[in-house]
């Protein structure tokens, strides 16, 4: 297995920012803000992110009480968007939208304000679902995970409490799930439909999601690995699975047509002589083949290196690829789907935080059968990563290693450069 080492050259969290120029405001109590959008990349951007914070908008004009921001194009048509309460204080914090843009293209858009009742309903392209299996699969916005349930005794226990054994999240291209117990593994749903389907998957009397259906299937065997981007920490040269003791919880932060986000919290997690609290926020946006994780730990001043994994139960090699100056990709490409088809799993991490790539043993207790990225972490320091699933039955491009690597490089460039706005 090939390993790499990169020194940390810069401590920063890479997220998309908007560069704003002068704005045109209408002279009324309900302002309209005009923006010119530019795609600076020499490539077409499908579902380019438009992200505008409440603070930015309040710096341009007074925000009308009780109204929500929306986006319109030059023809006055609504651009699919949503106003999200990110911090849970009861008021919106960010205006998020997606737009298709040709290489180097420019377009004029406007920000307007309307009531919640008038807010347009857009086609759902993302979804979060945690179903209460004991209450007719009622959709839960928060829940406590099962305690005392591990790889030694999970059979039928977690499935009797939660639909699909825990929270599931999806968009129009792919789906994922988390085991809502001390296994804390990550799994993948391969999708062959753009419809939101996971609310109805895994119910009693329904076909098994381990078998191909008209929507797709569970494509991954996780075992005792970290699965599809599961997390641990390295302490004194040993890897510890996050949440294998202590308590845990699930909470929806927001759910929308264009993006959704939830938080897994692990409290009083004991690692030898340390007691930690860990926050793992997970978000998914439409038109992407990844989810984005953001991990933070508190409770100790000790340096705990973050481990993010890819199961290697059916994989022969980890490929490590420098995608651009900011991001490194780790991926496997093998006939590792549950039905024997080609599945690529890729982990994209900030190069400035990457210490090395490595693999666990294939046998023993704890985390096994896992390739992983070891990331430099500090208390209170939020680390972002992206986990991709590229299944050949979703798109035949993913049967070609050249297509996979080209796609990951383009994705890294998208992550590095936001669209630009000016008067």
DSSP sequence for 252-318: EEEE-SSEEEEEEEEEEEEETTEEEEEEEEEEEETT-SEEEEEEEEES--S--EEEEEEE-TT-S--
The pair of three-digit structure tokens given for residue 182, joined into one six-digit string? 């001390």
Residues 6+ apart with CB under 8 A from 402: none
Q: Do residues 374 and 306 touch, judged by C-beta distance below 8 A?
A: yes
Report the chain's terminal Cα–Cα distance, integer Å: 51
Domain boundaries, the chain: 24-121, 126-416
Residue 107 CA to residue 72 CA, distance in Å, equals: 11
According to the CATH classification, is domain 24-121 in 2.60.40.1180? yes
pTM beyond 0.75: the answer is yes
CA atoms within 13 A on the CB side of 36: 10
Return the ∠ at Cα 209 (arms to 208 and 211), rounded to 5°. Answer: 75
Q: Do residues 211 and 336 touch, judged by C-beta distance below 8 A?
A: no
* pLDDT values of the chain reduced to their tens digit, one per residue, 423 residues: 433 333 333 333 222 233 333 344 444 567 789 988 888 888 888 899 999 999 999 988 899 999 999 999 999 999 999 999 999 999 999 999 999 988 888 889 999 999 999 999 999 999 999 999 999 999 999 999 999 998 888 878 999 999 999 999 999 999 999 999 999 999 999 999 999 999 999 999 999 999 999 999 999 999 999 999 999 999 999 999 999 999 999 999 999 999 999 999 999 999 999 999 999 999 999 999 999 999 999 999 998 999 999 999 999 999 999 999 999 999 999 999 999 999 999 999 999 999 999 999 999 999 999 999 999 999 999 999 999 999 999 999 999 999 999 999 999 999 998 776 664
Residue 308 CA to residue 386 CA, distance in Å, equals: 10
Q: How distant, in Å, are the alpha carbons of 21, 31, 49, 152, 176 from that of 18?
A: 10, 20, 10, 48, 29
- Return the CATH architecture of domain 126-416: Distorted Sandwich (2.70)
Residue 230 CA to residue 288 CA, distance in Å, equals: 19
What are the b/e assignments for 274-307, b being 16+ CB within 10 Å? bebebebbbbbbbbbbbbbbbbbbebeebebbbb
């Amino acid at each position: 297995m090939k390993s790499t080492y990169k020194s940390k050259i810069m401590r920063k969290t890479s997220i998309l920012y908007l560069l704003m120029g002068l704005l045109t405001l209408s002279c009324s109590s309900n302002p309209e803000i005009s923006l010119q959008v530019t795609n600076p990349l020499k490539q077409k951007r499908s579902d380019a992110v438009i992200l505008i914070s409440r603070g930015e908008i309040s710096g341009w004009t007074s925000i009308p009480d009780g109204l929500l921001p929306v986006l319109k194009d030059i023809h006055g048509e609504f651009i699919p968007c949503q106003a999200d309460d990110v911090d849970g204080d009861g008021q919106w914090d960010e205006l998020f939208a997606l737009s298709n843009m040709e290489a180097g293209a420019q377009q004029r858009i406007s920000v307007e304000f309307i009531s919640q009742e008038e807010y347009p309903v857009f086609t759902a392209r993302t979804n979060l679902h945690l179903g209460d299996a004991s209450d007719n699969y009622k959709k839960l916005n928060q829940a406590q995970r099962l305690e005392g349930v591990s790889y030694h005794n999970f059979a039928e226990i977690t499935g009797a409490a939660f639909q699909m054994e825990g929270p599931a999240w999806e968009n129009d291209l792919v789906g994922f799930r988390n085991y809502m117990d001390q296994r804390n593994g990550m799994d993948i749903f391969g999708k062959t439909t753009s419809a939101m389907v996971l609310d109805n998957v895994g119910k009693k009397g329904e076909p098994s999601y381990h078998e191909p259906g008209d929507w797709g299937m569970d494509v991954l065997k996780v075992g005792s690995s970290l699965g599809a981007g599961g997390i641990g920490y390295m302490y004194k040269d040993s890897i510890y699975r996050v949440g294998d003791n202590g308590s845990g919880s699930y909470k929806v932060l927001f759910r929308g047509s264009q993006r959704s986000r939830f938080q897994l919290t692990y409290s009083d997690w004991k690692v030898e002589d340390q007691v930690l609290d860990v926050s793992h926020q997970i978000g998914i946006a439409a038109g992407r083949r990844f989810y984005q994780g953001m991990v933070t730990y508190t409770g100790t001043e000790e340096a705990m290196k973050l481990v993010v994994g890819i199961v290697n139960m059916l994989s022969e090699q980890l490929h490590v690829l420098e995608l651009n100056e900011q991001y490194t990709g780790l991926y496997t490409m093998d006939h590792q789907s549950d039905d024997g088809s080609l599945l690529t799993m890729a982990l994209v991490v900030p190069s400035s935080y990457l210490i090395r790539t490595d693999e666990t043993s294939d046998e023993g207790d704890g985390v096994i059968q896992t390739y992983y990225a070891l990331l430099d972490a500090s208390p209170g320091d939020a680390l972002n990563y992206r986990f991709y699933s590229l299944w050949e039955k979703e798109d035949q491009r993913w049967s070609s290693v050249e297509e996979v690597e080209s796609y990951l490089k383009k994705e890294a460039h998208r992550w590095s450069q936001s669209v630009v706005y000016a008067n």
